[in-house]
């Protein structure tokens, strides 16, 4: 197999990567906000509009990346796991786009993200003996603890899309966050008590990468993942960027973070901030790589 196309359909985004297996050279990327989990918190279902957005985005990606000379491996996560009509939604997506998705569990999700992050740390010449990796998704947040050759992970049903749609405003979310993330605090305490504190806090997914981009003076159109990898963010960076975001005009918000993403990023910042409170870390390292990169490496190198 020469090329792989790895597809990650999350609760908010569709992320696609085309890679040449032998050289690990990236041949193309595609990213689109599709809001798979839109309305899920209220109805328990993936709605027709979301299915349509996913199909449209997949067809756009096929035109852009050329799927004909590659093996396609497509995975999907929490929104489909939660939805009462998840498998039916995937059937419709497959019929209309030709892409068949595999629903993966939180452990597999964490395994893929870990593989991608470890690869990126090697490139950055950062080899910590231990770290906590957090993937703040649209429908869930994964916490993973890595201690040299072993890791422990758990998926929590708190994500930026479902959280935003469950509450009326940011103040309500802020008030509810410590209770909602109580299980995550307990898990952090349990793992670190047994295996020791970790050296590094690594954050992946849209919220950390967006804040890192704002810190580096990039906007949605000028975003460059290569400049994001390894960026350090402090708790005060989050507070500062949230304040800037909340005080922007609608046009400024669209330019900064993309259409319809500002409320999700704001919710994500509150989740992110609470992770600092839980862990006691003063800063975290942001890495843009995630599930799709992990899928590509896994398929190219063998599980």
Q: Is residue 302 part of a domain?
A: no
Rounded CA gap, 66 and 233, in Å? 36
Identify which of 119, 178, 110 has the alpha carbon closest to the alpha carbon of residue 142: 110
- Residue 97 and residue 190 in one domain: no
- Residue 82 and residue 218 in one domain: no
- Residue 254 and residue 187 in one domain: yes
Average pLDDT of the chain, as a whole number: 91
**Which single residue is written with the structure tokens 């597809």?**
7
Residue 140 and residue 77 in contact, taking contact as beta carbons nearer than 8 Å: yes
Identify which of 1, 66, 2, 3 has the alpha carbon closest to the alpha carbon of residue 30: 66
- Residue 144 and residue 243 in one domain: yes
The helix or strand, by DSSP H or E, that contains position 192, with its residue range, turns out to be: helix 182-195
pLDDT digits (tens, 9 = 90+) for 115-148: 999 989 999 999 899 999 999 988 889 899 999 8
Q: Is residue 30 part of a domain?
A: yes
Q: Is residue 297 part of a domain?
A: no
Q: Is residue 19 part of a domain?
A: yes
- Residue 159 and residue 62 in one domain: no
CA geometry: angle 251, 16, 207, nearest 5 deg: 45
Rounded CA gap, 156 and 159, in Å? 8
Identify which of 224, 8, 255 has the alpha carbon closest to the alpha carbon of residue 137: 8
- Residue 96 and residue 51 in one domain: yes
Which domain covers residue 37, as residue numbers?
3-106
- Residue 91 and residue 131 in one domain: no
- Residue 157 and residue 256 in one domain: yes
pLDDT digits (tens, 9 = 90+) for 266-298: 999 999 999 999 999 999 999 999 899 999 998
Q: What is the pLDDT of residue 67?
A: 92
pLDDT digits (tens, 9 = 90+) for 219-247: 888 988 889 999 999 999 999 999 998 88
Domain count, the chain: 2
pLDDT digits (tens, 9 = 90+) for 167-224: 989 999 999 999 999 999 999 999 999 999 999 999 998 899 999 999 999 988 898 8
- What CATH number does the domain containing 226 carry? 3.30.420.150
- Residue 100 and residue 131 in one domain: no
Rounded CA gap, 302 and 197, in Å? 32
Q: Is residue 226 part of a domain?
A: yes
């Amino acid at each position: 197999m020469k090329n792989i196309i790895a597809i990650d359909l999350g609760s908010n985004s569709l992320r696609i990567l085309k890679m040449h297996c032998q050289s690990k050279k990236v041949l193309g990327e595609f990213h689109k906000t599709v809001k798979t989990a839109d309305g899920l918190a209220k109805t328990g279902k993936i709605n027709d509009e979301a299915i349509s957005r996913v199909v449209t985005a997949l067809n756009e990606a096929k035109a852009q990346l050329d799927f004909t000379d590659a093996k396609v491996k497509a995975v999907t996560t929490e929104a489909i796991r939660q939805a009462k009509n998840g498998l039916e939604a995937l059937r419709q997506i497959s019929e209309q786009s030709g892409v068949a998705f595999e629903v993966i569990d939180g452990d597999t999700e964490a395994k893929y993200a870990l593989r991608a992050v470890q690869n990126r740390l090697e490139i950055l010449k950062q080899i910590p003996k231990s770290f906590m990796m957090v993937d703040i998704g649209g429908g869930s947040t994964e916490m993973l603890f890595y201690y040299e050759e072993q890791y422990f992970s758990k998926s929590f049903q708190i994500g930026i899309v479902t959280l935003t749609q469950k509450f009326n405003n940011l103040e309500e979310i802020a008030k509810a966050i410590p209770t909602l993330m109580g299980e995550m605090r307990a898990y952090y305490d349990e793992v670190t008590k047994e295996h020791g504190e970790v050296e590094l806090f690594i954050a992946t997914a849209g919220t950390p990468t967006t804040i890192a981009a704002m810190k580096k003076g990039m906007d949605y159109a000028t975003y460059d993942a290569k400049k994001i990898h390894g960026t350090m963010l402090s708790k005060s960076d989050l507070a500062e960027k949230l304040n800037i975001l909340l005080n922007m005009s609608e046009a400024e918000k669209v330019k900064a973070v993309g259409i319809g993403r500002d409320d999700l990023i704001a919710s994500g910042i509150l989740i992110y901030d609470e992770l600092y409170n839980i862990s006691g870390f003063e800063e975290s390292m942001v890495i843009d790589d995630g599930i799709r990169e992990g899928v590509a490496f896994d398929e190219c190198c063998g599980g």
